[in-house]
Amino acid sequence: MTPISTATDTAGKPIMISSGGVDAIAITPNGQTAYVADNQESQGTTVSPISTATNTAGKATKVGIGPEAIAITPSGKTAYVVNEASGTVTPISTATNKALKAITVGKGPEAIAITP
C-alpha cells in the first residue's frame, strides 16, 4: 500500500502489510487510523490498522475469509469488516484492534454501510 500526499500529489514510502492484496480501506472519523483489508486467502485474511501520522502498520487482526469492505461507526469505536467467502461481518474494536464475535449474514456479502 502506498500513501499519497494530497498536498503535493506525490507517492510516499510504501507501507508493507502482507503478501496479499488490498481489497478495502476505511479511515476513522478522527483521521488517525486507516483500516486496510488484506485478502491473503492462502494464509488467512486480516485487517491492519495504519497510523496516518506515521504511515506505519500495527498488528494485523484476523477476520473471516475474503474481506471485501470496511465501514467504521460514526463514533469511531468499531470497524465492521464484510467477509465475502465466509459470509460473515467481523466487528473490530478500534480501541484494542481486537476482533469481536463474527456476525453470520450468509455467503456473498460485498458491501457495508452504517447510518448515523
Domains of the chain plus CATH, in order, are: 4-104 (2.120.10.30)
Q: pLDDT value at position 36?
A: 93
Nearest CA to 53 out of 24, 33, 35 is that of 33
pTM of this prediction? Answer: 0.89
Q: pLDDT value at position 40?
A: 66
CB 71 within 8 A of CB 77: no
pLDDT by position in tens, the chain (length 116): 788 888 999 998 988 876 667 788 999 999 999 999 987 655 558 999 999 999 999 999 999 988 999 999 999 999 999 998 899 999 999 999 999 999 999 988 999 999 88
Distances (CA, A) of 66 to 1, 45, 73, 78: 18, 7, 21, 19
